[in-house]
Amino acid sequence: MDNKEVISVLNDLIETSKDGEKGFQECAENIQSIQLKSLFNQRAQECAAAAADLQQLVRGLGGDPEDKSSIAGALHRRWVDLKGMITGKDDEAILNECERGEDVALKSYKEALQKDLPESIRMVVEKQYQGVQRNHDQIKSLRNLARAS
């Protein structure tokens, strides 16, 4: 892969991370549970840090890093708002939407890891992928608990 392709992959992941940051913030604002609100705020900060790390890699490659979320992410957040109004913003519905957002993030990271990235960049992307997987699994578990109660 040449630098231009690597920068493109990294910029896609920056958008994904920015989507996660804004999505977790949105969920934190709408969730009733204090514990979940705290968890979502922490995850939003982790997504922001991941985006900053990726932006630094893009700069190191001589590129211009992405600095905003994607249109698809904005549409998803509007859907969360709409669904929240309809369902009364119950915790299970919010967790469902949060999990859906993490499904998209997992897909983006898996696609990036299928590319022929330089080893130093692959290590960063792999580490972030593991964090996304952890987020997904935790949100799914919390959603299942909310559904069961």
Residue 26: predicted pLDDT: 83
Task: Give me 113's structure tokens.
Answer: 């890891």
Residue 92: predicted pLDDT: 84
Distance CA 107, CA 110 (A): 5
- List domains and CATH numbers for the chain: 3-148 (1.20.1260.10)
Q: For residue 6, give the nearest of 86, 113, 88 by alpha carbon.
A: 113
Residue 94: predicted pLDDT: 84
pTM here?
0.86
What is the end-to-end Cα distance of the chain in Å, rounded?
Answer: 49
Q: For residue 145, give the nearest of 54, 35, 4, 44 by alpha carbon.
A: 35
Task: Give me 132's structure tokens.
Answer: 């996304």
Average pLDDT over residues 122-140: 95
pLDDT in tens, 64-111: 998 876 555 555 555 555 555 545 567 888 888 888 888 989 999 999
String of DSSP letters for 95-132: HHHHHHHHHHHHHHHHHHHTS---HHHHHHHHHHHHHH
Q: For residue 21, give the nearest of 88, 70, 90 by alpha carbon.
A: 70
- Measured on CA atoms in the order 127, 3, 12, 40, is the torsion positive or negative? positive
H or E element in which residue 34 lies? helix 34-60
Residue 114: predicted pLDDT: 97
Task: Give me 111's structure tokens.
Answer: 């696609």
Distance CA 143, CA 36 (A): 11
